[in-house]
Amino acid sequence: MGEPIRVVLVDDHRLFREALQAYLERNPDIVVVGAFARGEEALRALPTLRPDVILVDIKMPHMDGLEVTKRIIAQDPQARIIMLTVSEADEDLLEAFKAGARGYLLKGTTSGHDLAQAIRRVAQGEAIIPPALAPKLLEEFATLAKARERRNEDDAPAAPHPREEREDGETNGLDVLTPRERQVLELVALGLTNREIAARLVISENTVRTHLRRILEKLHVRSRVEAALWLREHASPGRTSPFE
């Protein structure tokens, strides 16, 4: 077994925080390295604690979970944050992922086992989205992507946009990726973890992470969730994959 997953909890409800810490520490592969009632305290401690995953309550006094998440991502764009909430509101889900969260779990319906599994998946680079809210998230990110493209076109009208249609009618959005990066992106869109992608392509997990970092940079997206949504948006009608 490798090093345990280092977790930080940020939740203003003391009993919930203590119960959650007690449960998580029963898992030998998870260690809680910090638990805080306020976002300000967590922000000061994170550089020293170096957590792999951060659990943040979305509703807190003084500084709510969305603001905490934004500030954490500003300090460390690769931070892996799971938002915990009692809210099933679509707008909270959307704002959480816009802020940079990798996961969104409902306190009232998520079991301790499911939370531990979510921590493991996010630590491996996956994203956690409630299935019932996934369609709304897809729609919102598609709208944001189109708005971003329009802004780019307005800023540089004379320059060809990497996702514009070529004269021959083919979309060249994927041309910015190497063949291997395209393979990795397709497997990310299928929901595979970095470990599963590495096994499928017979490469190391470090190589997968390197490819994924370059994919995010080239597509101008911030997370594997947005990358998967970008792929879905740019797949040709009637095709399950743009690589066929």
Cα distance between residue 187 and residue 196, in whole Å: 9
Residue 76 has pLDDT above 80, yes or no: yes
**Res 6: pLDDT:** 96
Residue 238 has pLDDT above 50, yes or no: no
Cα distance between residue 84 and residue 114, in whole Å: 13
- pLDDT, one tens digit per residue, over 118-168 is 999 899 888 887 666 666 666 766 666 666 666 655 554 444 444 444 444
Domain end point (choices 71, 99, 128): 128
**Res 134: pLDDT:** 65
**Res 166: pLDDT:** 41
Neighbours of 134 (CB within 10 A): 12
pLDDT tier at 71, thresholds 50, 70, 90: very high
Looking at the structure of the chain, the number of domains it has is 2
Domain end point (choices 84, 108, 128): 128
Phi-psi sector, 17: left (phi>0), alpha (psi -120 to 50), beta = alpha
Q: ∠ CA 73-101-150 to the nearest 5 degrees?
A: 80
- pLDDT, one tens digit per residue, over 159-213 is 444 444 444 444 446 778 898 998 898 888 877 778 888 888 889 888 988 998 8
8 Å CB contact between 227 and 188: yes
Choose between 67 and 243: higher pLDDT: 67
Average pLDDT over the chain, rounded to an integer: 79
Domain that holds residue 148: 134-234
pLDDT tier at 111, thresholds 50, 70, 90: confident
Residue 240 has pLDDT above 50, yes or no: no
Q: Which two tokens stand for residue 205?
A: 């997990």
Return the residue matching tokens 């060809």: 160
Calculate what percentage of the chain has a pLDDT beyond 90.
28
Same domain membership, residue 101 and residue 188:
no
Same domain membership, residue 196 and residue 117:
no
